[in-house]
Each structure stands twice: as structure tokens, then as C-alpha cells.
Amino acid sequence: MASRKPNRAELSFLMVWHGVLSGGLLIAFLTAEISYDMHLFSGVVVLATIIIRVMIGLVVPSGSPLALGFAPHSGSHNKMPLSEQAKKAIKGLMAVVLLVVIGASAISGWLAFGLGGDDDLHEGLAAFAGAAIFAHIALAAAFHYFKGGGMIPLRPAPRRISLRPDSSPSIDAEA
């Protein structure tokens, strides 16, 4: 996992990549029984986004947020609390599971189309990919919710401002 926060370009890439991948997956799920051509095209888009992400993850430096894997970087891994180490390991494992399952689903669909065989394996992997995606969303929401080692503190209610003329602050005329 990353030893630093993503910069603007990396964050933009990740946002666009997630958008293209989720859009392709959504179209693939919605068109599975309706339009085979749209389903096939969106599957190719999903496969291409997975391949691009893996290729970029393999060529960037190991401390980059775009890097694949979850090995410790420059000794900083041993200095962080155990909860942070566990969180990084879970995030890395979830990323690997998602890339493998979604990639395997796309490849199995490609092979079922190319070989003209039965696509039960593709349908099973796609169903598992859907469950893994929802688990990823739940983990991301939970990590965001419990950020900082606890629940997000509730902010106190803002003070009410009275609009009555008798409660307005006095203005010093000598200033």
C-alpha cells in the first residue's frame, strides 16, 4: 500500500478509473440478458480498465498510491499502530481480490464468447464479483466512518443568532 497520500494527478486517475470501471460493470450487469453486443462491449471496457490498472500498478514506484501490493515501504510500516497496519493489509487484500475476481469474470466472458461454450463460469464469477464490489463499498464506507480510530465526533449545534434589534452587538463609535 501507499506510504503517502495521492497527489492531484493520481487522485484524478483513480477517480476516472473507478468511474470507467463502475460504469462498464453497471452496463454489463444491466445488459446481460437484454443486449448481447452492449454486454460484450462493456465487458471489453472492464477488461481494458483492469489491464491498464495492473500495468500502471506494476510500473509506478513502490511508495506510490497507484502501486500494487502491500509490502512495507522504507521501514514506515513498523512505526504505525497495529490498527493502521491491519487497515492497510485489508485494503491491499481487497484490491487484489477485486482485480482478480473482476478480471477473471471479464476473461471468462471473453473466452465463453470466443469459444462459444457454456458461460456458467462467467455468470458465477460475475455474481461473486458483484458481492465483492458491495463488500468493497462497505469497507470503504466503514473505513471512512471510523477514520482516526473512532467514530466521527458530532459537532455541537451552531449558536442561534437572534435577529431582534435589541440583541444586536453594540458598535463602538469611537473606533
How many angstroms separate the CA atoms of 123 and 164, rounded? 66
Q: Is the pTM of this model over 0.85?
A: no
pLDDT reading at 142 higher than 80: yes
DSSP state at residue 18: H
What is the percent of the chain with per-residue pLDDT over 90, rounded to a whole number? 32
pLDDT for 103-137, tens place per residue?
Answer: 999 999 888 888 876 788 888 999 999 999 999 98
Which of 51, 53, 39 minimizes the C-alpha distance to 109? 39
The pLDDT assigned to 74 comes to: 47
Which of 31, 25, 37 minimizes the C-alpha distance to 126? 25
